[in-house]
Amino acid sequence: MPTAALFFDYPARFYLGKYYSKVGVENDAFMRSVADATRRLGSLGTVVELGGGPSLCAMFAMTAATESGPERVVWLDAGAPNLREVQSWLSGQPDAFDYSAILDWLEAELGASAQNVIERLRGARWDLRMIDLWAGLPADLDGVGDVVGSYFVAECATDCEAEFIELTKRVRQTSRDGAQVVLAYIRASSPYRLHDDTLYPALAVDECNLPSLLDLAGVSLANRAIRRGPIDEPPPRPGYSGMVFVQGQLTKCA
């Protein structure tokens, strides 16, 4: 069985600085997509984020898009530095990552008061768990999510289709019947590096092969929408061609 060992020491702060310290066309499209997927829900209930890493951006976008924030957040990731970053922001540590660029964008574009978003998110019940998603999930997470999200995870964790499908099964497992599923992928990614020579694997996914990969993982979505997202110009790194966003309501019969 593969392991998530590559991610145990994920460079959390470097990652946040590189990808979330400004809002270009990619983050604009990503946050709009997450907000659109959740806006009509009104209430988020329990949100599960699979491979959430250190980044709270999608949680900010969901919270901004809905009247009440999440009641509970189940945050699953293999990297201890990632969980420390999340905990640091939640507890308002002075050296926590500065999300001003993201919060300012939400205020300007979605009309969401940053202070209100922060308070609602910090007011939720957080369940931060260091978990290797390859190893399966504890039974108490079966069907727990009213909203289940995963962004830039399965295609950034393996170059093997069967392993991508195995990781994607966690979406189905953690979703209640009818849960809102919100997914985002790096489109046509090559293997990539972050802060050092570590080479992370990648599986090339796009709007053409994702439907069958999701079907094989049992992620059957009513009202499924799959949309290609843009790429920052000039591309910050070669080796990918934008993003792909997927959303819909899980039908558990699959």
Ligand X SMILES: C[S@@+](CC[C@H](N)C(=O)[O-])C[C@H]1O[C@@H](n2cnc3c(N)ncnc32)[C@H](O)[C@@H]1O
Q: Give how far Cα 54 sits from Cα of 7, 81, 154, Å.
A: 12, 8, 16
Query: What is the C-alpha to C-alpha distance for residues 110 and 93, in angstroms, rounded to an integer?
Result: 26
Residue 205 binding ligand X, by CB under 6 A: no
- Among 23, 37, 53, 180, indicate the residue that binds ligand X (CB under 6 A): 53
Cβ 60 to ligand X shortest distance, Å: 11
Residue type, 92: G
Is residue 153 part of the contact set for ligand X (CB under 6 A)? Answer: yes
CA distance 82 to 79: 5
Q: By CB under 6 A, how many residues form the interface with ligand X? A: 20
Placement of tokens 């290609």 in the chain: 228
- Cα 168 from Cα 188, distance rounded (Å): 17
Nearer to ligand X, 239 or 251 (CB): 239
| Listed residue (104, 249, 98, 66) closest to 171, CA to CA | 249
| By CB under 6 A, residue 51 contacts ligand X | yes
Q: Which residue is nearest to ligand X (CB)?
A: 53
Of 178 and 195, which has the nearer Cβ to ligand X? Answer: 195
H/E element, 166: helix 161-174
Which is nearer to ligand X, 4 or 181 (by Cβ)? 4
| Helical (H) or strand (E) element with 40 | none
Enumerate residues 106-135 that contact ligand X by CB under 6 A: 131-134
Q: Find the part of the chain contacting ligand X (CB under 6 A) among 52-60, 62-70, 215-223, 230-238.
A: 52-60
Instruction: Using CB under 6 A, list all residues that contact ligand X.
Output: 4, 7, 10, 51-53, 55, 77-79, 82, 131-134, 151-153, 156-157
